[in-house]
Amino acid sequence: MQTQSIWEHTLTFFPQFLATLREHATPDSTVTVIGASDGKFVLPLASAGYRVIAIERDPIALHGGEVHLPGDRTGHSMGLIERLELEGLNNRVQVVEEDFLVSEPLGTPCDAVWTSCSWHYSANHHRPLGEFVNHMQRLVRPGGLFGAEFMMPIGQRHHMLEHYTSPERLRRYFIGDWDVLLTLRTNEFTERAHVGQLQDHTHRMGLLLAARASTPS
């Protein structure tokens, strides 16, 4: 790719999702990315031949703008829309500039949903975690794939918030028509400072991949 996401160097389980997607979907399937940001996951999916619906409400992530960088610096961040144009991927991506919890941006369910660390931001703590998961599940067609990576609790403050969850706790939302395919978790690790977290910081991360049954149980 000619362009690079400002989140390029943050740890992700996305390769595991992509490998599972290849097993469960056809090359021209539609994948919805919730919290698309500047396209860290959108562009690789589109480049791989998938049709992508990118849902994002942050105007800087979509249209670009000035951001605070580590080292008390500022810089210009290229937005998703500009990156798609420069990479020639516009025709494969539908950008939806909305809060997916407030409206129903899709007419019909898609083949797969992917989200990365979208529900643990403090601005989302007034909404129950189950509401996020339920809305995301509703976007997946029967036989489709759901993938989410998320921050796990470390300190006492995080343990008091359900939004810093674990694969085990998330499983309770995936009963009935869902089959959990894979869960992963990291030990504590230190990540380098980046946009939105301007100091080096300690994380734990989890992954849950689940398939929706082709017919209701």
Mean pLDDT, range 100-120, rounded to an integer:
84
In a domain, 66, yes or no: yes
Cβ atoms 121, 74 nearer than 8 A: no
pLDDT at 92 over 90: yes
* Model confidence band, residue 147 (pLDDT cutoffs 50, 70, 90): very high
Residue of 103, 116, 150 whose CA lies nearest to 37 = 116
Of the two residues 121 and 89, the one the predictor is more confident about is 89
In a domain, 154, yes or no: yes
Domain span holding position 98: 14-212
Tens of pLDDT, residue by residue over 64-78, are 998 887 777 888 889
Please state which of the ranges 75-79, 153-157, 193-197 shows the lowest mean pLDDT: 193-197
User: Residue 16: what pLDDT?
Assistant: 98
**Cα–Cα separations (whole angstroms), residue 112 to 27, 45, 108, 144, 205:** 12, 11, 12, 5, 21
Average pLDDT, the chain: 91
In a domain, 176, yes or no: yes
User: Residue 102: what pLDDT?
Assistant: 77
In a domain, 75, yes or no: yes
Q: Which residues are CB-neighbours of 54 under 8 A, at least 6 positions away?
A: 32, 33, 36, 39, 42, 80, 93, 94, 95, 96
In a domain, 8, yes or no: no
User: Residue 139: what pLDDT?
Assistant: 93
In a domain, 217, yes or no: no
In a domain, 2, yes or no: no
User: Residue 105: what pLDDT?
Assistant: 55
User: Residue 73: what pLDDT?
Assistant: 82
* Model confidence band, residue 198 (pLDDT cutoffs 50, 70, 90): confident
User: Residue 33: what pLDDT?
Assistant: 97
The CATH number of residue 127's host domain is 3.40.50.150
The tokens of 100 are what? 């997916």
Residue of 127, 111, 130, 152 whose CA lies nearest to 24 = 111
Mean pLDDT, range 121-150, rounded to an integer:
92
SS3 85: helix
Mean pLDDT, range 176-197, rounded to an integer:
90
Please state which of the ranges 5-19, 74-88, 107-121, 185-199 shows the lowest mean pLDDT: 185-199
User: Residue 216: what pLDDT?
Assistant: 59
In a domain, 6, yes or no: no
Overall number of domains in the chain: 1
User: Residue 104: what pLDDT?
Assistant: 62
Tens of pLDDT, residue by residue over 22-61, are 999 998 899 999 999 999 999 999 999 999 999 999 999 9
- Where b means 16+ CB within 10 Å and e means fewer, 63-95 reads ebeebeeeeeeeeebbbbbbbbeebebeebbeb
pTM of the predicted model, to two decimals?
A: 0.93
User: Residue 111: what pLDDT?
Assistant: 96
